[in-house]
Amino acid sequence: MWLGVEMVGKENLKAEDLNLCFEKLMMPGGGARRGGGKVKMEAGVITEWKDIPMELLLQIVTIVDDKTVIVASGVCRGWRDAICMGLTHLSLSWCTKNMNNLVLSLAPKFTKLQTLILRQDKPQLEDNAVETIANFCHDLQVLDLSKSFKLRDCSLYALAHGCPNLIKLNISGCSAFSDIALEYLASFCRKLKVLNLCGCVKAATDRALQAIGRYCNQLQFLNLGWCDNVSDDGVMSLAYGCPDLRTLDLCGCVLITDDSVIALANRCVHLRSLGLYYCQNITDRAMYSLAQSRVKNKPAMWESVEGQNDEDGLKTLNISQCTALTPPAVQAVCDTFPSLHTCSGRHSLIMSGCLNLTSVHCACIAHRSLNSYPYSAH
C-alpha cells in the first residue's frame, strides 16, 4: 500500500474487513466467496480486486466511509489512480491524531477534491498541510479548517493563490489569523458565499470586512460571532457590498449600534437570519428600521428571480441580552415578519435575558388566545 493503514485513524482497518465490505456492496446476492484477501465470482467475471470496473469502484467509493476510501486507494495502482482522479469529497474530521501527516500524504494525490472537511477537536493542522492543499487542490470549493489554532497567516496567503474558487470557508476559532491576511484572501477568493469567522478576533476587523464588502459581492452567510473588534464601519461596508446577504451572526459584537442594523435593513433585502445576541447598544430605532424595511423593500424583492421566496423576510432574529429594547418596538418587528415566532417549539424570535419583553408574542399566540374564548350561547 502507498499509505499505511496505521495512519488512517483511531483503529486499524484490516484487509479482511475491507474485503468483506466490498463483497457485500458489490454482490448482495451472495455470488462471491472470500479467499486470500481477494474478491472472486463464481462466473469468473471478477477474479481479483484490481479487476473491478473503475465505474463500479467509483460508485462504491461514494457510499463507503472516508477511512475505507483511503485504504481502498492503496489496493493497487489502478485503484489509486481511479480514486485519486474521481474523489471530490473527503472528510478527515474522524482523525484524532496524525491529521497533518495524513493531509500531507493525500493532498498531492487527491487533486480533484472540491470539498475537504478538516474539523478538529484539538489542533493538529499546521501551515505546511494547508500550503500543500493550496498547491495541489485547485478545484476546492468547500474547506473547513475550524479550530485550527496552530495556523498562521501564511495559510491564508497560500489559499488565496491556490484555491481561488472557494465558495464555503470555515476558519472559526483560528485565532492567529490577522486582518491583513483575511483582506488578502478576500481579494482573490471572490466567489465566497459562506464564510465562518466566529472567534477570529484578530482577523475579523473593520479593515477585513471592508475588503469582504469590496470583493466578495456574492456572500450570503457570514458568522462574526464574538469578533469584538467589529464596529459599524465594518458592518455597513458589508451591507453595501454584499446585498445578497441572507444570514449574519453578530453575537458578541459589542461595538455595533443601530446604524449597522439600519444599513442591513435598507440594503440587504434578502436577509433571513440576524443574530444580535449581547449587542447592548441596539435600541428601538434598529427594530423599527427592520419593521419598516419590509414595506420599503417589497418592490425590490419582487424584482428578483427568487422574489416570492423572500416575501416573508426575516425568519430568525436573536436579540437576547439586548436590554435597551422595549416591547412596542420588538412587537412591531414580530408583527411585520410572520415567520418570527415566540410560541413554544417554534422559537425564531429569541429574547433570552430580556425580562421586559415578556409581553411580546407572535400571531400564533394571539390566534390561540382568541380561540380559547367560549362561544356565547344564543
Run means of pLDDT, 10 residues per run, the chain, 378 residues: 41 52 49 44 55 78 86 82 89 95 96 97 96 98 97 98 98 97 98 98 98 98 98 98 98 98 97 98 98 77 46 90 98 96 91 96 68 49
Q: Tell me whether strands 32-35 and 38-41 are parallel, antiparallel or unpaired.
A: antiparallel
Interval 65-84: pLDDT, tens:
899 889 888 877 878 888 88
Q: In angstroms, rounded to a whole number, what is the distance separating the alpha carbons of residues 364 and 205?
A: 40
Burial 277-298 (b: 16+ CB within 10 A, else e): bbbebbbbebbbbbbbbbeebe
pLDDT, residue 368, reads: 54
pLDDT, residue 332, reads: 97
pLDDT, residue 210, reads: 98
pLDDT, residue 40, reads: 52
Give me the helices (H) in 224-280, please.
232-241, 258-267
DSSP state of 13: P
Domain ranges for the chain = 1-87, 88-354
Q: In angstroms, rounded to a whole number, what is the distance separating the alpha carbons of residues 255 and 259?
A: 11
DSSP state of 377: P
Query: DSSP assignment of 310-348, as one string?
Result: HTT---EEE-TT-TT--HHHHHHHHHH-TT---STT---
Interval 245-282: pLDDT, tens:
999 999 999 999 999 999 999 999 999 999 999 999 99
Contact 359/327 with Cβ under 8 angstroms?
yes
pLDDT, residue 223, reads: 98
Q: Is 14 helix (H, G, I), strand (E, B) or coil?
A: coil
- For 88-354, which CATH class? alpha beta
Number of residues that this document lists for the chain: 378
pLDDT, residue 29, reads: 44
Backbone angles phi, psi at 196, to 5 degrees: -110, 110
Sheet holding 247-249, edge to edge: 89-91, 115-117, 142-144, 168-170, 194-196, 221-223, 247-249, 273-275, 316-318, 349-350
- Rounded to the nearest angstrom, the gap between the alpha carbon of residue 140 and the centroid of all alpha carbons in its chain is 14
Cα radius of gyration (the chain): 26
Q: What angle do CA 258, 320, 213 make, to 5 degrees?
A: 45
Q: In angstroms, rounded to a whole number, what is the distance separating the alpha carbons of residues 311 and 332?
A: 17
What's the grid cell of residue 106? 493525500
Beta strands in 92-179 (DSSP E): 115-117, 142-144, 168-170
Q: Is 248 helix (H, G, I), strand (E, B) or coil?
A: strand
